[in-house]
Amino acid sequence: KAGVTQTPRYLIKTRGQQVTLSCSPISGHRSVSWYQQTPGQGLQFLFEYFSETQRNKGNFPGRFSGRQFSNSRSEMNVSTLELGDSALYLCASSLPADYGYTFGSGTRLTVV
């Protein structure tokens, strides 16, 4: 079965711009969560969506936002990009909480 698909794989943006990343979960998975991975901070939770509702958000500024559509696909948006937003952004989908997460290959965002 198809895995979690993230697009695009790579992005280069300029400071001040905004960016939208996309995630298509495994069919049947209604929970989608997003993580930021950097060498210094490791894997950090951004937010989690279930049935189009954001159930929780990590400790990130309001410039980071997301949404989930009725087909469970999710997008995250980062506005007014800063150099420190350069990171690998990972999306993960799962069945209910007692199951493991399947991660996508990520979107590597570079802000210059």
Partner 1 sequence: QQPVQSPQAVILREGEDAVINCSSSKALYSVHWYRQKHGEAPVFLMILLKGGEQKGHDKISASFNEKKQQSSLYLTASQLSYSGTYFCGTGGGADGLTFGKGTHLIIQP
* 5 is a site residue for partner 1 (CB under 8 A): no
- Could you give the count of Cα atoms lying within 13 Å of 6 in the half-sphere of its Cβ? 24
- Is residue 33 at the binding interface for partner 1, with CB under 8 A as the rule? yes
Cα separation, 15 vs 13, in Å, equals 7
Among residues 8, 17, 43, 63, the one that binds partner 1 under rule CB under 8 A: 43
The span from the CA of 111 to the CA of 14, in Å, is: 5
Q: Which residues pair with 18 in a beta bridge?
A: none
Among left, alpha and beta (phi > 0; psi -120 to 50; other), residue 85 is: alpha
Is the CB of 37 or the CB of 79 nearer to partner 1? 37
Under the criterion CB under 8 A, does residue 28 sit at the interface with partner 1? no
If binding is defined by CB under 8 A, does position 60 make contact with partner 1?
A: no
Q: Which of 24, 66, 106, 111 binds partner 1 (CB under 8 A)?
A: 106
Place of tokens 């930021």: 36
Which residues contact partner 1 (rule: CB under 8 A)?
Answer: 31, 33, 35, 42-48, 50, 55-56, 58, 90, 94, 96-106
